[in-house]
Amino acid sequence: MQLGELQNQIARFERRGVSVIALSVDEQAASLAMIERLGLSFDLGSDPQQAIVKAFGVQNPDTRELAIHAVYIVAADGEIFYRKVGRRRPVSAELIDAIDSFRGVYPKTNEQIEPRRRINVAFPENNFQALITVVGITELPETVDPIEFSRIYSIRKKGSLDDSLVAFKTLTRSSVDAGQQDLYDTAAWLTRLLFFQDIPEALEAGRLLNRRLARVRELEALLEANQSSDRKDELLHTLAQARAGLSLTRAEISNNADAWNLRSAKTTLRSYREVAGASVNVRAALVSVPEDAQ
């Protein structure tokens, strides 16, 4: 269940008088960032000690800090009539079917389905952005402990992304001198080491993409400023050439996307950035709590 997709169809739940509660081990400050990004209108509950997770028996066997992805629907008397634990995540339509079937009105054919809504995708949105970001970082920020960093690196090398994310969260908490940008840079450096250490041609393509993109933007700005000058035709010509070069580099990167594992790199970078962003929010929230309230 993607929460953004659920939000998109929330009116169908409301029409049926069905409430939605989403639970995670997140601190509230971290959840707030997501509520804002996805525009969520249903309740997000925080279960950091996993009391509810344990009561439902949905702890993650690999990473005890987390729950398995699970969806339950209970009737008004608290009795479960639908569950989906782990494996393929259900979409809203399936939950609606389960609810209608429970009420004996399945299938409901005359209901309007909400159109797809574009959701703000977290950075990086695509392979190109990910590659450019990764290429832009050439060392670990000084504010971050290199020993702790190499521990995360080896956890991820051995396997679990989730485990390494937990370790990264610990690092973002303990590196108190590192600001948001430092933590984002750490995420990028980590992704670079994990994915591109042995693929210099990917890094080279990323650098070229960055240069050509900058050139196109520069020429576009120049053209904008010279709309009525006699340099206009010459600029148009140069811009066309620059755009052609940019397309070539993009094509080369797209053709190598599988070989360079770009999709996975993009997702990894995004996950680490989200942890970094959330940690900064949590820190800010902790700082803003007066001492006598703790």
Partner 1 sequence: MHMKELKLKLPLACAFICLLQISTIVAGAEDELIPRYKPSSRSAQPIDIRTNAYGASRDAPAALSIGERVADFTVPRAGGGVVSLSDARDRGPVAIIFYRGHW
Task: Kindly identify the residues of this chain, within the stretch 88-117, that bind partner 1 according to CB under 8 A.
Answer: 88, 90, 94-95, 97-102, 106-107
> Residue 61, preceding bond cis, omega within 30 degrees?
no
Other CB atoms closer than 10 Å to residue 164's CB: what's the count?
Answer: 25
Q: CB under 8 Å to 229, separation ≥6 — which residues?
A: none
Asked if 273 contacts 185 with a C-beta cutoff of 8 angstroms, the reply is no
Choice from 25, 119, 213, 222 touching partner 1 (CB under 8 A) = 25
- The first and second tokens of residue 112, run together, are 């309007």
30 vs 194, beta carbon nearer partner 1: 30
Q: How far out from the chain centre does Cα 207 lie?
A: 24
75 vs 259, beta carbon nearer partner 1: 75
30 vs 235, beta carbon nearer partner 1: 30
Q: Which of 208, 241, 201 lies closest to 128, judged by CA?
A: 208
Residue count, binding to partner 1 (CB under 8 A): 82
Choice from 28, 143, 256, 264 touching partner 1 (CB under 8 A) = 28
Asked if 217 contacts 176 with a C-beta cutoff of 8 angstroms, the reply is no
- The 151-170 contact track toward partner 1, x by CB under 8 A, reads -----------x--xx--x-
Task: Kindly identify the residues of this chain, within the stretch 63-92, that bind partner 1 according to CB under 8 A.
Answer: 66-88, 90
80 vs 284, beta carbon nearer partner 1: 80
**Shortest Cβ distance from residue 39 to partner 1 (Å)?**
13
Say how far apart CA 89 and CA 79 lie, in whole Å. 22
Q: Name the phi and psi angles at 160, rounded to 5.
A: -70, 125
- The 38-57 contact track toward partner 1, x by CB under 8 A, reads -----xxxxx---xxx-xxx
Region binding partner 1 by CB under 8 A among candidate stretches 32-40, 185-193, 216-224, 232-240: 32-40
Q: For residue 226, which amino acid is it?
A: N
**Shortest Cβ distance from residue 122 to partner 1 (Å)?**
9
42 vs 132, beta carbon nearer partner 1: 42
8 vs 249, beta carbon nearer partner 1: 8
Say how far apart CA 231 and CA 34 lie, in whole Å. 48
Asked if 190 contacts 149 with a C-beta cutoff of 8 angstroms, the reply is yes
Task: Kindly identify the residues of this chain, within the stretch 212-271, that bind partner 1 according to CB under 8 A.
Answer: none
